[in-house]
Structure 1
Amino acid sequence: MAKAEQIKALIRSHLKRDDERFVTIALQLAANEAKKGHSTLAHEIRSLVDQRTESNVTVVSISDDLADLVQQGNLTGELTSLVVRDELKKRIERIVKEFHQAEKLARHGLGNRRKILLSGPPGTGKTMTAAVLASQTGLPFYVIQIDRLVTKYLGETGAKVRQIFAMIRKRPGVYLFDEFDAIGAQRGSENDVGEMRRVLNALLQFIEKDDSRSIIVAATNNLSALDSALFRRFDDILNYDKPTIDEIVALIENRLGTFKGRFSAASIAKKAIGLSHAEITQACDDAIKDAILSDRKKVTQACLAQTLFDRKAAYSN
């Protein structure tokens, strides 16, 4: 059942008519019940929150103006599905813990970590981290397509950014700003234009002033390209790298699952060095597909070695 503090916080938010807080706590309860294996109850709580006509809580949907910029993301599930360094996993767990105990922190004048910057090469787990944060907090997951925002609405970008942050305030969720460097590049860089300077200035103000219940996650493949003024706007900066040998072994074993043949993942891990988490996952999927289409129940070591080689070969063409 729900913790006493959450129940009291839910009642307080209702009495104060703080709809945003009410929704956030209700989703926290759903996430807690899901962790305990009470999936039916968790689903029922989330359904009640989403039924605006049967609830006094206002839940804002994605407007037509933002439909091509804000997309509903897929929830990944457990933190155990994210193969990253232990130190990084602990920091992610801390974000989740602070979210679930935000009320306790608030009583001491402190806020939970809500603005997170993720940096690292493509395919190293940044997007999956945002999805895990959404799943573990019980919040909806939204992906902001920054590249579309800039290229399609140049001249109107500032207005669109304002609309997005209005949604962040009204609809608690985990919001991932993907390819963040497209809009957060250093002012004064060679590619800098007056329009983008104004957009970046507005973005800095929106991030700093945001006091919503949402979690804002920005992901970049190039940390050095970001304007230095952005860094102090974030509560935490997490750096991702390509997987180590141990992480490669864990990735292979997790992804192949029951399809793994009688071979040691450690014996083939060296062949995957240099590939990202996503590329290794794709190579494992390719090997599973080959096994299925060949009417085999298991993936062979030779087949996995070939799919890993194929992934690496793409860089030499």
Structure 2
Amino acid sequence: MATNDQFKALVKSHADGDDSQFYSVAMQVAAKAARAGQDKFAQELRDMVDALRKREVASTRVASVVPVSQPRGELASLLTVSYPDARAADLVLSDDLSERLHHVLHEQRQRDVLSRHGLAPVRRMLLIGPPGTGKTSTARVIAGELGLPLFAIRLDTIITKFMGETAAKLRLIFDALVQTRGVYLFDEVDALAGDRAAANDVGEIRRVLNSFLQFLEEDPSESVIIAATNHPQLLDNALIRRFDTIMNFDLPDQEGVRAVIENRLATFRTSNISWKRVTDASNGLSHAEVAVAAENAAKRTVLSGRKQIRTDDLVAALNDRLRAGAPQPVTA
């Protein structure tokens, strides 16, 4: 059953109107019940949370009418749009990252209250970390929780050999931020905002970065801007200073690995899993790779006519992911 702290967290999140925190704590209670052998109660609680979240998504989408549901004209080649229904409870983050994410969401939901006091919510975020550690998933969760469209910026179509064109395309993007409130994701932003002091830099590239910095500085919109990178060492320091918050993502620890697997295998029996073997086999894998391995083990279980996940299947799937990511030998 729930601990006293979890009961208090449920009551507080309900009083604050923080649905994402309420659902997150409820899912923690379900996970704790499952580990205690209360499988039926755990599944019923998960089903209730899922039903409430779907109902909330449906009502939010009706209320969240945006001026442009699909980018048009030249903008259509620069952006892709989606309407995620992801929720914070779907993410496996460290306690620090989870707390900071909920803080961002809370500020965004209370932006009118902040505005009355001359304050603005966090809306420019820089996400740093290895591939597969949850950066893009976090952007999807922010969009899903706020009921906003997620616009992914296609840097491959923005960056051209004609730097003047690149700056003009960036201007289109930032005009769209004002016209349509949403979450705008600049993935692999280091391709656009590399260090101006780099030895191999050229003047035109510096001018593009200067334009990007200026657009960020002068942006009057209420949209959320998220930049993500796997290579923070390549970023210009002036860009880093433009962001309200910086979140550093790491590979999952043993608790994180277990949480990812339990989330992905929520409908399967996992009581007989040797978690020591599983976490040892997952060393060096990202959240995404662990999730894929868990799904592969689940498919093997289903096709074998079983309901119980076997440790051997899970370890084998994790080892497959490790081999897939291993450096390939150099051939002549």
TM bin, normalised by shorter chain, reads: 0.7 to 0.9
> Within 2, Cα distance between the matches of 1:45 and 1:275?
35
> Within 2, Cα distance between the matches of 1:297 and 1:270?
24
> Within 2, Cα distance between the matches of 1:153 and 1:80?
44
Q: Secondary structure at the match of 1:257?
A: coil
Q: Which digits, 9 at most, give the CA deviation of each residue in 1:244-264, with x for residues without a partner?
A: 111111111111222344214
Q: Secondary structure at the match of 1:156?
A: helix
Q: Are 2:56 and 1:47 aligned?
A: no
> Within 1, Cα distance between the matches of 2:85 and 2:251?
20
Name the residue aligned to 1:21: none
> Within 1, Cα distance between the matches of 2:109 and 2:50?
13
Q: Of residues 147, 153, 166 in structure 2, which corresponds to 1:144?
A: 153
Contact 2:70 2:81 in 1 (8 A): no
Unaligned runs of 5+ in 2: 1-14, 16-48
> Within 2, Cα distance between the matches of 1:74 and 1:153?
33
Q: Are 2:75 and 1:66 aligned?
A: yes
Q: Are 2:254 and 1:245 aligned?
A: yes
> Within 1, Cα distance between the matches of 2:228 and 2:213?
15
**Shift in Å, 1:272:** 0.3
> Within 1, Cα distance between the matches of 2:191 and 2:264?
32
Change over 3 Å in CA distance of 1:148–1:264 after alignment to 2: farther
**Shift in Å, 1:206:** 0.5
> Within 2, Cα distance between the matches of 1:212 and 1:282?
37
Percent of counterpart pairs with the same letter? 43
**Shift in Å, 1:41:** 6.8
Change over 3 Å in CA distance of 1:134–1:103 after alignment to 2: same
- In the TM superposition, 1:143-222 aligns within 5 A as 143-150=152-159, 156-222=165-231
> Within 2, Cα distance between the matches of 1:41 and 1:125?
23
**Shift in Å, 1:293:** 2.9
> Within 1, Cα distance between the matches of 2:200 and 2:247?
26
Which 10-residue stretch deviates more, 250-259 or 213-222? 250-259
CA RMSD of aligned residues (A): 2.5
Change over 3 Å in CA distance of 1:265–1:92 after alignment to 2: same
Runs of 4+ in 1 over 6 A off after TM superposition: none
> Within 1, Cα distance between the matches of 2:301 and 2:164?
51
Contact 2:64 2:147 in 1 (8 A): no
Instruction: Write the letter of the residue equivalent to 1:46.
Output: R
**Shift in Å, 1:211:** 1.7
Instruction: Write the letter of the residue equivalent to 1:276.
Output: S
Name the residue aligned to 2:6: none
Q: TM-score, normalised by structure 1?
A: 0.81
Q: Secondary structure at the match of 2:192?
A: helix
Q: Are 2:281 and 1:271 aligned?
A: yes
**Shift in Å, 1:271:** 0.9
Q: Of residues 40, 43, 52 in structure 2, which corresponds to 1:37?
A: 52
Contact 1:253 1:265 in 2 (8 A): no
> Within 1, Cα distance between the matches of 2:166 and 2:284?
37
Instruction: Write the letter of the residue equivalent to 1:287.
Output: A
**Across the two proteins, how many residue pairs are aligned to each other?**
280
Name the residue aligned to 1:98: 107
Q: Are 2:131 and 1:116 aligned?
A: no
**Shift in Å, 1:194:** 2.8
Q: Secondary structure at the match of 1:250?
A: helix
Q: Of residues 295, 303, 307 in structure 2, which corresponds to 1:285?
A: 295
Which 10-residue stretch deviates more, 270-279 or 185-194? 185-194
Q: Secondary structure at the match of 1:184?
A: coil
